[in-house]
Amino acid sequence: MCASERNLVSNTVLHALRCSLATLVLLGVTALRAQQAKPAATEGTGETQEDNRALRTREFLGLGRMPDVKMAAEGAKIFGPNCGFCHGADARGGTGPDLLRSPVVLHDNQGEVIGSTVREGRPSQGMPAFSSLTDDQIRDISEFLHLQVELTANRGTYKILSVVTGNPKAGEAYFNGTGKCNTCHSTTGDLAHVGSKMEPPDLQQAFLYPGARGIANGGSKSAPKATVTFPNGKTVTGMVKYQDDFYISLYDADGKYHSIVLDQGVKVQVDDKLVFHRQMLDRYTNEQMHDLTAYLVTLK
């Protein structure tokens, strides 16, 4: 690996580290909030939702202690020049093993296992002893490695990189042309400022299918409207509260609650406003989808 390549890798790692630092500092704040026994905010800003996702995922995975991001940042500086030559600046291996799935790293808690390996080296496998590193330096290196593991293993920390790659002009043409989006929607009406209301990945998901799971800050969908027709021809129309194959309940226009067992002959007609969105999912090309995203994010 030539020097410039090494720098490139180091810069990438440092960039990733900076981004991850921000995430993990936020994570720490969220964790503190949770410790204070206040209900953690799950609605509201996308940021908070993502932090919760990361925390929930690490709990699900049974990952250990949260790495200390400040120590990890110090550790990155020591790891690069001392260890990166063999293990790669990102610790994903080079001439030496990939440390993200090293039993030494994964069995370590606070440097006690990593420390002895680093200090004693593994002469039989060509790893020299780094006996001059201080306890603090070893601890920092350990935190750096644990952070790399965290950012790999905890998929709740993953960020969608960029969804805005399309051509906004083409997206606008599609919106008003082939896509016929303007039949129901208006960029000065219901979609006014949508580009500043939602993060691009949420916006992309939401225009494809509003109300899909996991959309932060928007994309909400109203309860469907249904009409129930009885065998005698009588009908009830209202907003559906609950529906399965056997039973439906709804609120009519006066707010009156109706609970109906779907016996033989009782028919339900659901007014699915999103049917066109669903049909479009078979029609979009990837390019059209990205062009539309690129256009909608310009609606600031």
Partner 1 sequence: MNLGHVALLFCLWLFLSPGLLLAQGLDPQKLLQREPTDTWPTYNGDYSGKRFSPLTEIRAENVRSLAVAWMFRVTIAGGTMRGVGEPEIKSTPLLVNGILYFTIPDHVYALDARSGLELWHYDWVDAGGHLVGNRGVGMYGDWLYFLAPDGWFISLEAKTGKERWRKKVADEKMQYFTTAAPMVVGNHVMVGVGGDAIDVPGYLESRDAVTGELQWRWNTEPKKGEPGSETWPNDAAMAHGGGMTWLPGTYDKDLNLLYWGTGNPNPVVAGQGRAGANLWTCSIVALNPATGKLAWYFQASPHDTHDWDNTETPVLFDAEIEGKPRKLLAQAARNGYFFVLDRTNGKNVLSKPFVPLNWSKGVDANGQPIPDETKEPREDGTLMTINGGGGTNWMPPSYSPQTGLFYVNATLGYSLTYLTDTSERPEGYGGSGRGLWSQHVLEALDYKTGDVKWSHSYTDDPSAFRLGGPGILTTAGNLLFTGDYKRNLIAFDATTGNILWHFPMLRSLGNGPETYLLDGRQYLIVGGGDTLYAFTLVPAR
Is the separation of the CB atoms in 105 and 132 below 8 Å? no
Residue 209 interacting with partner 1 (CB under 8 A): yes
Q: What angle do CA 170, 184, 274 make, to 5 degrees?
A: 100
**Tokens describing residue 91:** 């610790």
Q: Which of residues 43-102 bind partner 1 (CB under 8 A)?
A: 56, 59-64, 88, 90, 92-93, 98, 100-101
Residue 217 interacting with partner 1 (CB under 8 A): no
Residue 211 interacting with partner 1 (CB under 8 A): yes
Contacts of 48 (CB under 8 A, 6+ apart): 30, 40, 41, 42
Q: Of 214, 231, 266, 273, which one interacts with partner 1 (CB under 8 A)?
A: 214
Residue 103 interacting with partner 1 (CB under 8 A): yes
Q: How far is the CB of 189 from partner 1 (least distance, A)?
A: 24
* CB closer to partner 1 out of 48 and 204: 204
Residue 1 interacting with partner 1 (CB under 8 A): no
Is the separation of the CB atoms in 194 and 296 below 8 Å? yes
* CB closer to partner 1 out of 104 and 133: 104
* CB closer to partner 1 out of 133 and 288: 288
Interface stretch with partner 1, choices 18-26, 30-38, 138-146, 276-284 (CB under 8 A)? 276-284
Strand partners, 239: 225, 251
Residue 208 interacting with partner 1 (CB under 8 A): yes
Number of residues interacting with partner 1: please give it, by CB under 8 A: 55
Distances in Å between the Cα of 66 and the Cα atoms of 46, 51, 267, 291 are 22, 13, 54, 39
**Tokens describing residue 197:** 């209301």
**How far is 127 from 217, CA to CA, in rounded Å?**
50
* CB closer to partner 1 out of 72 and 100: 100
| DSSP run (H or E) holding 58 | helix 46-61
Is the separation of the CB atoms in 87 and 128 below 8 Å? no
Q: How far is the CB of 284 from partner 1 (least distance, A)?
A: 6
Residue 256 interacting with partner 1 (CB under 8 A): no
**How far is 94 from 8, CA to CA, in rounded Å?**
15
Residue 289 interacting with partner 1 (CB under 8 A): yes
Residue 241 interacting with partner 1 (CB under 8 A): no
Q: Of 244, 253, 263, 265, which one interacts with partner 1 (CB under 8 A)?
A: 244
CA atoms within 13 A on the CB side of 66: 22
Contacts of 245 (CB under 8 A, 6+ apart): 262
* CB closer to partner 1 out of 129 and 160: 160
Give Rg (Cα) of the chain: 27
Rounding to the nearest 10 degrees, give the CA dihedral for residues 200, 206, 207, 211.
Answer: -170
Contacts of 83 (CB under 8 A, 6+ apart): 91, 96, 141
Residue 278 interacting with partner 1 (CB under 8 A): yes
Q: Which of residues 19-48 bind partner 1 (CB under 8 A)?
A: none
Q: Which of residues 112-171 bind partner 1 (CB under 8 A)?
A: 149, 152-155, 158-166
**Which residues are at the interface with partner 1 (CB under 8 A)?**
12, 56, 59-64, 88, 90, 92-93, 98, 100-101, 103, 106-107, 149, 152-155, 158-166, 201, 204-205, 208-209, 211-214, 243-246, 274, 277-278, 281-282, 284, 286, 289-290, 293
